[in-house]
Amino acid sequence: MPITAARPASPTLDRRRRADAAEPPRQAPQGPQLAQVGPSELRHSKVKPAELIPFVTQLAVMLDSGVILSEALDAIAEQAAEGTFRDIVLEITDTVKTGEPFSKALSRYPRVFSPMFISMVKASEASGRMVEMLTVVTGYITFESETVKKIKGALTYPLIMAAMAVGATATLMFFVLPRFMKIYEAKGAALPKLTQIIVSLSALMTDPKSMTAIITGLVGLGVAVYYYIHTEHGVRTVDYLKIRTPVLGTMFVDTVITRSTRILATMLNTGVSLLDAIEVIAGSTRNYYFSQLWAAVDKRIRDGYQLSDAIQLSCGRNLIAPGVIQMLRAGEKSGKLGEVCTKVSDFYEKKLEASIKNVMTLIEPLMITVLGGVIGTIAIALLLPVFRISSVVAH
């Protein structure tokens, strides 16, 4: 889209209409379609990390170069491709130009900008260190995006095997098994117990009434589970499983500690108070038990305790390794708590990468074992009667 020379500080829709009017005629009226999206719809939209990462990176670079926030947002919006995220940036720009804080403008889009993102921007507005904060946020988003890509890549092979296993199982149960059944029914032979179970299961899966009842029950169970996990007790249960499940729990705890110590290091090194940093950390954990821990730590710090002592005396202190607490205590004594937190976060980031590799290493053989067991059981159930074919036919 051509860029007009002037940048009128008008509402978002008017600006897009003027920009569209300045364009040469096109073959189809597809340009202004996105302008019809209302603010309320945009607030419930989601964007991909591939769009969010360049936005934060460009904003940090432009602010570091001395460009004011509103002009930086304007420039980013003009360079962005047509789409939902461009509309969101345009609305944020207009909100900022009215005098609203940047953090408040971001908070109108909770599905795009996380609470941690908004909290760090809010803290940077108070400290005047927005560039540093945005750089850290870029690192977080990039790391999480790469982690998701690694997990998806590692699961590709097992998922392909699962699809092939489902196809092989369906072939055995719906095509091979019925042919064997005709032979045995004609001869009046008694089937082995395992084969009888597989035959009954096949008959159940091919019966429309039975499958309708099963699917209805599964849908009802899914709805019940969905509502349960959104209750207070359900949230506690799910969050407990996140931190206590073998292997996966270690990976989740490492993720939270890495994020928490990185935030703490960044905010302390940029002059943000410890209490403000703890508040941001509490909002970024996304886990009930970690949130309770940091809430208790916040209360004890307000009562005069040091950070390490506050963690040691709080409920949930077992979530933080004793070695980390000792390092924090050493940082407090030396007056280099921010530097110590940076080292802790670097250590846990490497530990987290190792945890992810361990999980990926275990998932593949586990899925192969389970799928192999299912297909093997069906194959054995079909082969057991084959061993009697000669005797059945002779009889």
Q: Does 323 share its domain with 187?
A: yes
Q: What phi and psi, each to the nearest 5 degrees, are found at residue 159? A: -70, -35
Which two tokens mark 116? 């941690």
Query: Mean pLDDT over residues 331-335, rounded?
Result: 89
pLDDT value at residue 390: 57
Place of tokens 């699962």: 162
Q: Between the ranges 170-174, 267-271, 326-330, 368-372, where is the mean pLDDT highest?
A: 326-330
164/373 Cα distance (integer angstroms): 14
Shared domain for 102 and 146, answered yes or no, is: no
Percent over 70 (pLDDT), the chain? 84
| Lookup: tokens for 388 | 């009697």
Lowest mean pLDDT among 30-44, 261-275, 282-296, 341-355: 30-44
pLDDT of residue 186: 67
2 within some domain: no
Domain containing residue 78: CATH number: 1.20.81.30
CB 112, CB 45: distance < 8 Å: yes
Query: What's residue 10's pLDDT?
Result: 42
358: in domain: yes
Q: How many domains does the chain have?
A: 2
How sure is the predictor about 389, in pLDDT bands with cuts at 50, 70 and 90? low
Task: Give the per-residue pLDDT at 20.
Answer: 46
- Judged by average pLDDT, the poorest of 16-20, 218-222, 253-257, 352-356 is 16-20
The model's pLDDT over 221-251, given as tens digits with 9 standing for 90+, comes to 999 999 999 898 999 999 999 888 887 788 8
Check whether 359 has a pLDDT greater than 80.
Answer: no
Residue 34 pLDDT more than 60?
no
Residue-level pLDDT at 18: 45
**pLDDT for 25 beyond 50:** no
Same domain, 350 and 236: yes
- Out of 79, 113, 147, a domain closes at 113
Q: What is the DSSP string of 265-321?
A: HHHHHTT--HHHHHHHHHHH---HHHHHHHHHHHHHHHTT--HHHHHHHSTTGGGS-
| pLDDT tops 90 at residue 39 | no
Residue 351 and residue 240 share a domain: yes
Same domain flag for 298 and 391: yes
The total of other beta-carbon atoms located within 10 Å of residue 217's CB is: 10
Quote the domain boundaries for residue 218: 138-395
89 vs 34, higher pLDDT:
89
Q: What is the mean pLDDT of residues 305-314?
A: 90
Please give the model's pTM, rounded to 2 decimal places. 0.68
In a domain, residue 179? The reply is yes
Statement to judge: residues 105 and 194 lie in one domain: no
Q: Which pLDDT score, from 0 to 100, does residue 393 have?
A: 57
pLDDT bucket at 204, cuts 50 / 70 / 90: confident
Indicate the range of 15-24, 62-71, 120-129, 231-240 predicted with least confidence.
Answer: 15-24
What pLDDT score was predicted for residue 188? 59
Phi, psi of 112 (to 5 degrees): -100, -45
Residue 15 scores a pLDDT above 50: no
| pLDDT digit string, tens, across residues 137-169 | 887 788 778 777 876 776 777 778 778 878 877
Q: Report the pLDDT averaged over residues 328-347.
A: 89
pLDDT in tens, 119-134: 788 878 877 788 888 8
pLDDT at 220: 94
Residue 84 placed within a domain: yes
DSSP state of 371: H
343 is a domain residue = yes
Burial label for 256, CB within 10 Å (0-12, 13-18, 19+), is: buried
Q: Cα–Cα distance between 106 and 192 in angstroms, integer?
A: 66
pLDDT of residue 272: 78
Mean pLDDT of all residues in the chain? Answer: 79
192 & 295 share domain: yes
pLDDT score of 281 more than 70 = yes
Summarised one tens digit per residue, pLDDT across range 340-352 is 988 888 888 888 8
